[in-house]
Amino acid sequence: MTTTFSTTGRVAVVTGGSRGIGRRVVERLAAEGYAVVVNYRGRQEAAEEAVTAARAAGGTAIAVPADVADPAAVAALFDTAEREFGGVDVVVHAAGMMTLAPLADLDLDQLDEMLRINVRGTFVVDQQAARRVRPGGAIVNFSSSLTRFARPGYSAYAASKGAVSTMTLILARELRGRDVTVNAVAPGPTATELFLDGKDEQTLARIAAEPPMERIGTPDDIAELVVFLAGPGRWVNGQVLYANGGAI
């Protein structure tokens, strides 16, 4: 028997939706029929472009600014989603930051800021999501395959994403009986502006050769998985899914 998942009336909040993977997730959810709230922190023009792209894909979208680590701002973000669209069914928390340096050299102020955005930000967004997502909904966080790669220079970033993975697994169990799934996607190298910046062709070729698929991932690769977890993937819960072409 084939079951068709309906997105009619479903509402998604996507943090970090103005660029990169988050931007592609916005477009894909809109194309599936979701009303999408595009959260951004400081890139209003990029967020408005994401809204335009979402509408062109056939969906409904608005842009709402919020610092994901600020509880009042995040509560206001969810308030807006509920006021404009009637509720929240899916939360995709794609906002994050990455600062790279060997552990011995990383400036602690940079560490504090990354932990604020990646760890506290996930906690704050997930708090609101846990309180507000409707039955049949989904929470999708973003971890990273770097928690397994153990590459020099990534200790702080990988540690912050390891915290995201742990929060995800525990929250899934805390929401027992709510009919809300909680998962994390852990991308490997993905061809976004942030990833490609500063890398020469030789470096990119070396990275592309690592997975058996012999290429670098694309935002589409990751967005496709997010759309599955947001909708029809109801029996996937409390998992960290490593989307890296088999590199690990």
Within 10 angstroms of residue 153's Cβ, the number of other Cβ atoms is 15
Find the angle CA(202)-CA(208)-CA(212) to the nearest 5 degrees. 145
Find the angle CA(26)-CA(172)-CA(50) to the nearest 5 degrees. 10
For residue 125, give the CATH number of its domain: 3.40.50.720
Q: Which of 205, 216, 211, 204 is nearest to 247 (CA)?
A: 211
Query: Per-residue pLDDT tens for 186-236?
Result: 999 999 987 888 888 999 999 999 999 999 999 999 999 999 999 999 999
Give the domain range for residue 215. 11-243
CB of 34 within 8 A of CB of 10?
yes
- Distance CA(119)–CA(102), nearest Å, equals 20
Active centre residues (catalytic): 157
Would 85 be classed as within a structural domain? Answer: yes
Query: Per-residue pLDDT tens for 149-190?
Result: 989 999 999 999 999 999 999 999 999 999 999 999 999 999
The domain total for the chain is 1
pTM: 0.95
For residue 3, what pLDDT is reported?
A: 52
- Distance CA(210)–CA(205), nearest Å, equals 9
Would 118 be classed as within a structural domain? Answer: yes
Beta bridge partners of 37: 13, 62
Q: Give the HSE-up count for residue 234: Cα atoms under 13 Å, Cβ half-sphere.
A: 12
Would 29 be classed as within a structural domain? Answer: yes
